[in-house]
Amino acid sequence: MGRALVRALTEMDGVAVSAAIEREGSLDLGRDAGELAGVGPIGVRLTDDPLTAFAAAEGVLDFTAPRASLAFAELAAQARIVHVIGTTGWQDGDSAPLKAAARHARIVKSGNMSLGINLLAALVRKAATALDEDFDIEIVEMHHRHKVDAPSGTALLLGEAAAQGRWIPLAERSVRVRDGHTGPRHKGDIGFATLRGGSVVGDHTVILAGQGERIELTHRAEDRQIFARGAVKAALWARDKKPGLYSMADVLGLSD
Ligand SMILES: NC(=O)C1=CN([C@@H]2O[C@H](COP(=O)(O)OP(=O)(O)OC[C@H]3O[C@@H](n4cnc5c(N)ncnc54)[C@H](OP(=O)(O)O)[C@@H]3O)[C@@H](O)[C@H]2O)C=CC1
Ligand SMILES: O=C(O)C1=N[C@H](C(=O)O)C[C@H](O)C1
């Protein structure tokens, strides 16, 4: 995503790359971020010094790993800047430190930065409300072979939308793995299925399966630039907002 973000930042108006961060020891440190992203040199060399980078920036676009994003949120709070978090794979205990950082930083966090998925989430919420528990909800996702977390952040976002539509807590009703003699499906559960392989950018389908009929709502991401452009849009949106924890639905005007 780092390369996609640099490409988006060089293509879009009103933004510029002030720094690009890699981990200590990375072989790419010192290389030009634009050259790595395939857009030619932009005069910004990869650094492993986030403190200096954050101090000089108005916002940070962060697609890394939960531990790194938590550390970056603390730095964004100290620098009082915008922090856009696309990272997925969060654990239960991660939300408290993020909320603490959002007292000073303007944080936009979403498992998916695309317009299409956030619109799909709104449709799923509506469908889950309209169709009662006689319609079983299952969420299927497929991603490229390099993805390390499951279910995807997007699948969980869509599951949350379905749970909101049904007024149920997702954590208590989600079934994330099935194996062996599982017994019959429990009415009202929200199931997840994960596929991994090849170069798939990101496919998500929410199935509402009833007796004798089935609705399938699908989004297929074809290009990672949709996530990068969404992240830049989120940063520009958050620039004049108060400190807080926002979602991509807030950015796109899709929240209730
Ligand atoms: N919300 C959205 O719309 C989207 C979210 N994502 C999510 O973004 C994340 C990244 O995805 P992707 O780019 O494919 O993954 P990659 O593994 O290709 O990239 C993650 C990068 O973060 C770097 N990184 C990890 N920890 C640190 C650290 N402490 N300091 C500096 N750099 C660090 C990694 O370095 P190293 O290789 O050295 O570990 C790596 O270069 C995932 O969680 C993915 O699910 C992806 C696409 C869209
Ligand atoms: O790792 C990815 O590639 C993606 N991750 C996000 C997720 O976990 O949902 C968003 C997108 O689907 C691509």
Q: Which two tokens mark 128?
A: 């889950």
**pTM (two decimals):** 0.98
Give yes or no: residues 154 and 105 share one domain. Answer: no
Say yes or no to pLDDT of 102 above 90.
yes
Give yes or no: residues 203 and 137 share one domain. Answer: yes
For ligand 1, the distance from its centroid to the CA atom of residue 138, given in whole angstroms, is 27
Nearest to residue 222, comparing CAs of 245, 199, 205?
Answer: 199
DSSP letter (8 states) at residue 185: P
Stretch among 9-13, 35-39, 221-225, 252-256 having the lowest mean pLDDT: 252-256
Give yes or no: residues 193 and 229 share one domain. Answer: no
The pLDDT tens digits for 139-155 are 999 999 999 999 999 99
Q: Which residues line ligand 1 (CB under 6 A)?
A: 1-2, 21-23, 26, 63-65, 68, 86-89, 110-113, 153, 227
* CA pair distance 206, 138, nearest whole angstrom: 6
Say yes or no to pLDDT of 136 above 80.
yes
Indicate the SS3 state at residue 36.
helix
Provide the domain limits for residue 21.
1-113+224-252
Give yes or no: residues 210 and 149 share one domain. Answer: yes
Number of domains in the chain: 2
Give yes or no: residues 208 and 152 share one domain. Answer: yes
Give yes or no: residues 33 and 71 share one domain. Answer: yes
Indicate the SS3 state at residue 114.
coil
- Average pLDDT in the 100-117 region? 98
Q: Are 175 and 192 in contact (CB under 8 A)?
A: yes
pLDDT score, position 256: 75
Active site residues: 143, 147
- By DSSP bridging, strand 82-85 and strand 59-62 are parallel
Give yes or no: residues 81 and 183 share one domain. Answer: no
The pLDDT tens digits for 53-68 are 999 999 999 999 999 9
Nearest to residue 139, comparing CAs of 153, 156, 121?
Answer: 156
Where residue 21 sits, what CATH number does that domain have? 3.40.50.720
- Does 86 belong to an annotated binding site? yes
- Does 112 belong to an annotated binding site? yes
- Does 25 belong to an annotated binding site? no
The owner of tokens 């539509």 is 165
Separation in Å, CA 212 to CA 106, 128, 135: 47, 17, 10
The pLDDT tens digits for 145-183 are 999 999 999 999 999 999 999 999 999 999 999 999 999
* CA pair distance 101, 119, nearest whole angstrom: 28
Give yes or no: residues 187 and 99 share one domain. Answer: no
For ligand 1, the distance from its centroid to the CA atom of residue 68, given in whole angstroms, is 9
Mean of the per-residue pLDDT values of the chain: 97
Where residue 161 sits, what CATH number does that domain have? 3.30.360.10
Give yes or no: residues 133 and 169 share one domain. Answer: yes
Give yes or no: residues 77 and 27 share one domain. Answer: yes
Give yes or no: residues 93 and 167 share one domain. Answer: no
